[in-house]
Chain A
């Protein structure tokens, strides 16, 4: 990703720059073919160097690395976009400093991506600038491999078929924001818009997205539904959730680009399943028909929105950088801790609202608070966790396990 696709007058410079880079790369290339030159190299090394050959090669490739770093730095200064992956220290610094930026995560790991998002959100300064305006809007993009993500205040067993998830290799996550359950795969891109609590407005960012995408394809009937979802015709292409904390807010959403929608079948439960009744105050998912939006790739969506965001928030004297992050960022303790929390049974299965389920045929009822069974028609399970009970379902043969898992 040394050279990111870029529209406008910069293009020519970038291509020239790229050529220069490629040209300078050729003489040093250490591919498979280099072995036949080894002898020759060693000969020259012996002739012209007092060091051993190994060391010289190492130094050369280090020089080469330095050179690339140097070139990258130059490019950044010239065009004001980042081409290298942020080091943990750099991320820490830029997130905590006031200012706007865009991050594209290169990781496909949902735990990492949610933790990164949470880190950027928590550490974004909440204060206003000298014009008494909030100037720290941030935009994040990430793509997750197969997973199902439930809302903070939902009941896992009510929303998803855990057995199908496990069978088909989908991870289950509970996110930190509200809302309903969504399925992610590599054809879906997630965006996350961070701003102040005061500027928080549910439909604000989705309106911008509709505007940007409509500019690309004016004939595409993209619109905002009454619920604030982005729809293509009568089908949903994007789902949103929101969080407000410490004077800041984020709106994050999914955007289906080339998701394998057929594969989504049978992962999420319908709102009613015969034989089981849920009595809970948890937040319900709104079931919707979904479809892919008319773009070719998740990268195209990120590029369109990045340039829209830059136009909307950039000023003449300050361009908005696009930063790349990968998993080495998880060296930051706060991110590492968050990943552990998101992975823990405590967060996934023992958190969430109180619920009560009854199985009609078996005449059985179970009440669960903070993951622990507090009341039940089966006295032996009271006091144990509902998670443990589900792991041991086979020993309760009168219960149809398909109703719960």
Chain B
């Protein structure tokens, strides 16, 4: 399925692709990861492994997988969620998404302690296909340090979109 996304992107002019990736991989403005604080997240970053992280000024961040990743994986059948109070280093496996028979790992984009997991995904894993950038957030994390989001390997939306178009699928 990743391949079919690649085929579309090759056929589309670069600019149009940017607009498309940016809108689809942007945070949903009406769901908790955005509305958690009244002013919205102060930083939204992306990893090369297709996770997103949205951090608020009080050091709370939400983590999920991008629209691109959710589309590529297809219909989700089970989401493995992290345990509350568990401390995760950056790069640790936070959980996984099982879709039509594949199990795909989700990694912690920045170190912190899990304060809660999205229980809605237990009952309705397909939520991850419907709103991966919002209602289907995976973990709510208390970050060790907000500054960690300035790390070079975390991309902003534009960089992430660019990385998708440069990927050689």
User: Residues on A close to B: CB < 8 A?
Assistant: 128, 132-133, 151-153, 176-180, 197-202, 228, 240-247, 249, 281-283, 353-354, 370
Interface string of B81-125 (1 = CB under 8 A from A): 001000000000100101111111101000000000000001101
A178 touches B103 (CB 8 A): yes
| CA–CA, A199 and B169, complex, Å | 6
- Closest Cβ of chain B: how far from A136's Cβ, in Å? 14
Determine which of B3, B6, B98, B122 lies in contact with A354 in the assembled complex, contact meaning CB atoms within 8 Å. Answer: B122
Once A247-B48, A281-B122, A281-B125 are accepted as A-B contacts, the answer to whether A201 and B102 lie under 8 Å apart by CB is no
B102 touches A198 (CB 8 A): no
Determine which of A202, A245, A283 lies in contact with B105 in the assembled complex, contact meaning CB atoms within 8 Å. Answer: A245
Q: Which residues of B contact A197 (CB under 8 A)?
A: 2
Once A247-B48, A281-B123 are accepted as A-B contacts, the answer to whether A202 and B103 lie under 8 Å apart by CB is no
A243 touches B123 (CB 8 A): no
Determine which of A178, A199, A249, A354 lies in contact with B101 in the assembled complex, contact meaning CB atoms within 8 Å. Answer: A178
Once A201-B1, A201-B2 are accepted as A-B contacts, the answer to whether A244 and B169 lie under 8 Å apart by CB is no
Once A198-B2, A198-B169 are accepted as A-B contacts, the answer to whether A153 and B49 lie under 8 Å apart by CB is no
Determine which of A153, A199, A228, A247 lies in contact with B103 in the assembled complex, contact meaning CB atoms within 8 Å. Answer: A153
B80 touches A153 (CB 8 A): yes
A132 touches B49 (CB 8 A): no
Determine which of A133, A153, A247 lies in contact with B78 in the assembled complex, contact meaning CB atoms within 8 Å. Answer: A153
Q: Which residues of A contact B2 (CB under 8 A)?
A: 197-201
Chain B residue at smallest Cβ distance from A204: B3
Q: Which residues of B contact A370 (CB under 8 A)?
A: 83
Q: Which residues of B contact A201 (CB under 8 A)?
A: 1-3
Q: Which residues of A contact B103 (CB under 8 A)?
A: 151-153, 176-178, 241-244
- Closest Cβ of chain A: how far from B60's Cβ, in Å? 25
Q: Flag whether B129 is at the interface (Cβ < 8 A).
A: no
Once A128-B168, A133-B168 are accepted as A-B contacts, the answer to whether A241 and B101 lie under 8 Å apart by CB is yes
Determine which of B83, B107, B123, B167 lies in contact with A198 in the assembled complex, contact meaning CB atoms within 8 Å. Answer: B167
| CA–CA, A293 and B107, complex, Å | 39
A178 touches B102 (CB 8 A): yes
Q: Which residues of B contact A176 (CB under 8 A)?
A: 103
B102 touches A242 (CB 8 A): yes
The 5 closest A-B pairs by CB, nearest first: A242-B102, A178-B103, A244-B104, A245-B105, A178-B98
- Closest Cβ of chain A: how far from B100's Cβ, in Å? 7
Once A247-B48, A281-B125, A282-B78 are accepted as A-B contacts, the answer to whether A153 and B98 lie under 8 Å apart by CB is yes
A246 touches B49 (CB 8 A): yes
- Closest Cβ of chain A: how far from B44's Cβ, in Å? 22
- Closest Cβ of chain A: how far from B117's Cβ, in Å? 12
Chain A residue at smallest Cβ distance from B103: A178
- Closest Cβ of chain A: how far from B98's Cβ, in Å? 4
A198 touches B168 (CB 8 A): yes
Q: Give the number of residues in B that approach A within 8 Å (Cβ atoms).
A: 28
| CA–CA, A283 and B98, complex, Å | 9
Q: Which residues of A contact B22 (CB under 8 A)?
A: none
Q: Flag whether B77 is at the interface (Cβ < 8 A).
A: yes
A247 touches B49 (CB 8 A): yes
B78 touches A283 (CB 8 A): yes
Once A198-B2, A201-B3 are accepted as A-B contacts, the answer to whether A283 and B77 lie under 8 Å apart by CB is yes
Q: Which residues of B contact A177 (CB under 8 A)?
A: 102-103
Once A153-B78, A197-B2, A198-B167 are accepted as A-B contacts, the answer to whether A243 and B49 lie under 8 Å apart by CB is no
Chain A residue at smallest Cβ distance from B98: A178
- Closest Cβ of chain B: how far from A226's Cβ, in Å? 11
Interface string of B139-169 (1 = CB under 8 A from A): 0000000000000000000000000000111
Q: Which residues of B contact A202 (CB under 8 A)?
A: 1, 100-102
| CA–CA, A180 and B101, complex, Å | 8
A353 touches B78 (CB 8 A): yes
- Closest Cβ of chain A: how far from B82's Cβ, in Å? 12
In the complex, besides A197-B2, A245-B104, 10 extra interface pairs with C-beta distance below 8 angstroms are A151-B103, A152-B103, A198-B169, A200-B102, A201-B1, A242-B103, A243-B104, A244-B102, A281-B123, A281-B125
- Closest Cβ of chain B: how far from A311's Cβ, in Å? 22
11 contacts between A and B (CB under 8 A): A153-B80, A177-B103, A178-B77, A178-B98, A200-B102, A201-B1, A202-B100, A242-B102, A244-B104, A246-B105, A281-B78
Chain A residue at smallest Cβ distance from B80: A153
Chain B residue at smallest Cβ distance from A133: B168
Chain A residue at smallest Cβ distance from B101: A179
- Closest Cβ of chain A: how far from B105's Cβ, in Å? 4
| CA–CA, A54 and B142, complex, Å | 70
Q: Which residues of A contact B168 (CB under 8 A)?
A: 128, 132-133, 198
Chain A residue at smallest Cβ distance from B167: A198
A240 touches B78 (CB 8 A): no
- Closest Cβ of chain B: how far from A317's Cβ, in Å? 22
